[in-house]
Structure 1
Amino acid sequence: MDYTHSLDEAGEYAQLAVALMDDQRITPHPNNFTVWYNYFSGDHPELKRTLDMLLNSSLALSETRNDQVYRKFCASPYDALPLHIMAEKMEVELGAVLAVIEQTGKGTAAYERTLADTSGALDRAEHADTLRPLVSRLLTETRSMVEQSQYLERRLAESATRIGQLTEELEAARREAMTDALTGLANRKLFDSLLRQNAMDAMETLEPLALLFVDVDHFKRFNDTYGHAVGDQVLKLLGRMLQRNIRGQDVACRFGGEEFAVILPQTSLDNALKVAETIRAQVAGKSIIQRKSGDRLGQITVSVGAAAFVPGEPVRQLMERADQALYLAKNRGRNRVVAETELDPQDLAMVP
């Protein structure tokens, strides 16, 4: 995660986190501390909203719930990968290959000794009757060596296949850990990683970088009226429309709930606004149809906030401006795009 707090700020957040964990009887191990440190720092609005809901409810802040929050908001995209299991399987396969190679090495050494012995015996042989057993022994040892070589080839081929399968399983697990299951877009953990990487790239290349936050208008009301299945259909539709309107280097992410984000490398704020308006107009032009009945359920709209990266700033400041622009779009009536340049300077001054 991206931490840019001063020594005094970090100390204050740490003290507040420890005090709350003590009050709520939460075990203060590193994962739980990370959750509550981020809660008090305010760097992670979605995490804070989730924890506020838990604090205001009658639900106990159990170890399981803390772990769920950590995995959703704080864990690395690679934390969920079963690396130890993959490593164990890989070690077994490599061990089997080494055993076969060792066995074959011993067989090769024995074969070399047989060749040397036979060669010496052939030099000393004076009669045909003496040659016959020597040739027979040589043929027998040669066949054995060929069989061992063929066995090694089969075992290496089998191990190569299994190692290839393990590699595919690892790649599939990596993709799953970084992908939103419903929409197929990048998930929040991958978003955090990619935004930081693109910010570093932008500083190195001096190319622009823009960020869009996209939120479905009145989604809760739509979801409550027509059910979660239809709500999921809406989210999938928006995911597809985001993908259709971005280039290869751009990344569409499901940020959380009905909120999405689009990272636009090498894109100025003006061009980002054009992308945002295209997305907004296309979504507004779509009707939602219930698959089973074919009934038209109406239209959905989205609000979009856009911001441009300022080289050297923490990425949370970029995210905060995009979020504030989205909030302003909602306040202005929804179904519109708002740029950070339309924000009140006083609001921008409040961004830490």
Structure 2
Amino acid sequence: MSAMDSSFDEPDYDYAASIAGRAMRSMAEQRIAPTPANFAVWFLYFGDGHEDLRNAIDLLIDHNRPFDARTNQDLFKTYVAPQVSAAVVDTSERLQALMGAAKEFLATAIADNHSQMQGISEVADQGKAGVDPKALVAQLMNELARAATRATRLEAGFAEKTRELDVIRDSLSRSEERARTDTLTGLANRRALDEFLRKAQATAAWGEPLSVLMLDIDHFKTFNDNFGHGVGDQVLRLMAKVLREKVREQDLPARYGGEELIAVLPDADLATCAEIAERIRHALAECTITRRSTGEVLPSISVSIGVAQYRAGEAITDLIERCDRALYLAKGSGRNRVVTETELDRVGTAG
């Protein structure tokens, strides 16, 4: 059952009212607009289940992240939005029509077989009755020709429906891919990220290393304020392109939220992950950004990157939280740099 399905269960009135009250109070504390979509997110947050949503919001709160419009939209799209779209409904209807057609084809084939068997039986009976062999051969040839025609017609019909099924299969594959992809950056979204992390954690439990890196644009708010959100989106797409190109084939680059991107690196220790992070940072620093509308060359961008490695037995949220802390240490210590979790330990010891 999807998150949206469970939100329409019929809970006890008092329980539902209590959850709704807690949701509205928390939205007010976080200065979140009380829209239906935002309310759905926070109602599920305080309801039973939905651990992934709760972990995501808790992490944002723990790090004093603002719940801006983009973050709220990401939460809704990832954890609440119903996955059944008009395309899926259309696909279901087309499948029903194809199954009906297949049943008709099969029924026709069965009827034709019966007709063919009956015709051949009649020819055989005439042979026993002493009918002219030439006439029998002619009748038999006629029955076989009719059978061949029916078979060709059925084969053509099945071939056409097979092609339709291929189209539907491709459509479903594209729909599934869209449901797992962030629309702005083209990277994996939070739903795909969570699934990948669960699988990677299972592999890491057998001793394989697993690392993550998280990157954030330095002074992105100032960049947006000066040049507009359209240019900001262009920068995010550039970040995503560089991230996708610099990680390995087996890695998963994803949009974590807002301007933060993340990459999960199975079978990579901390040093390997830090090396890849440094390549990403360097490549972005060398990028030239041109404003599409005017051709104006904009100031270069830089990113801060945090890196952490999975520790046996820990929750994935602990790994992400440690990586996030490393990212903020990178920002707090001058920006435009890569910081690994080992520096967190040094900071903690020095403190």
Q: TM-score range by the shorter chain?
A: 0.7 to 0.9
**Structure 2 counterpart of 1:229:** 230
Distance apart, 1:260 and its partner CA? 0.2
Query: Is the 2:231–2:291 contact (alpha carbons within 8 Å) kept by the matching residues of 1?
Result: yes
1:153-193 per-position Cα deviation (integer Å, ceiling 9, x unaligned): 11100110000000000000011111112221111211111
**Structure 1 counterpart of 2:286:** 285
Give unmatched runs, 5+ long, in structure 1.
2-13, 58-64
Matches within 5 A, 1:1-352: 17=19, 19-21=21-23, 33-37=43-47, 43-45=56-58, 53=67, 71-75=76-80, 83=88, 85-125=90-130, 127=132, 132=135, 134-204=136-206, 206-343=207-344
AA at the equivalent of 2:111: K
Distance in 1 separating the partners of 2:64 and 2:137: 82
- Of 187-196 and 161-170, deviating more is 187-196
AA at the equivalent of 1:177: A
Distance in 2 separating the partners of 1:299 and 1:35: 39
SS at match of 2:254: strand
Q: Does the C-alpha gap of structure 1 residues 108 and 79 become closer, same or farther in structure 2, counting only changes over 3 Å? A: closer
1:252-303 per-position Cα deviation (integer Å, ceiling 9, x unaligned): 1111221100101100011111111111111112222223433221100000
SS at match of 2:116: helix
Distance in 1 separating the partners of 2:264 and 2:84: 23
SS at match of 2:248: coil
AA at the equivalent of 2:153: Y
Query: Is the 2:327–2:339 contact (alpha carbons within 8 Å) kept by the matching residues of 1?
Result: yes
Distance apart, 1:143 and its partner CA? 3.0
Distance in 1 separating the partners of 2:131 and 2:203: 81
Distance in 2 separating the partners of 1:238 and 1:116: 75
AA at the equivalent of 2:57: H
Distance apart, 1:94 and its partner CA? 2.3
Distance in 2 separating the partners of 1:145 and 1:341: 78
Tell me the TM-score normalized by structure 1: 0.79
Distance apart, 1:137 and its partner CA? 4.0
Query: Is the 2:45–2:54 contact (alpha carbons within 8 Å) kept by the matching residues of 1?
Result: no
Distance apart, 1:342 and its partner CA? 1.4
Distance in 1 separating the partners of 2:234 and 2:167: 34
Distance apart, 1:75 and its partner CA? 4.6
Q: Does the C-alpha gap of structure 1 residues 69 and 255 become closer, same or farther in structure 2, counting only changes over 3 Å? A: closer
Distance apart, 1:104 and its partner CA? 1.2
Query: Is the 2:45–2:53 contact (alpha carbons within 8 Å) kept by the matching residues of 1?
Result: no
SS at match of 1:194: helix
Distance in 2 separating the partners of 1:21 and 1:245: 41
1:212-249 per-position Cα deviation (integer Å, ceiling 9, x unaligned): 11001111111121122221221111111111211110
Query: Is the 1:17–1:40 contact (alpha carbons within 8 Å) kept by the matching residues of 2?
Result: no
Q: Does the C-alpha gap of structure 1 residues 344 and 81 become closer, same or farther in structure 2, counting only changes over 3 Å? A: farther
Distance in 2 separating the partners of 1:306 and 1:291: 33
Distance apart, 1:15 and its partner CA? 11
AA at the equivalent of 1:35: Y
Distance apart, 1:346 and its partner CA? 9.2
Give unmatched runs, 5+ long, in structure 2.
3-15, 28-33
**Structure 1 counterpart of 2:8:** none
Distance in 2 separating the partners of 1:157 and 1:321: 56
Query: Is the 1:78–1:174 contact (alpha carbons within 8 Å) kept by the matching residues of 2?
Result: no
Q: Does the C-alpha gap of structure 1 residues 126 and 334 become closer, same or farther in structure 2, counting only changes over 3 Å? A: closer
Distance apart, 1:150 and its partner CA? 1.2
Query: Is the 1:46–1:256 contact (alpha carbons within 8 Å) kept by the matching residues of 2?
Result: no
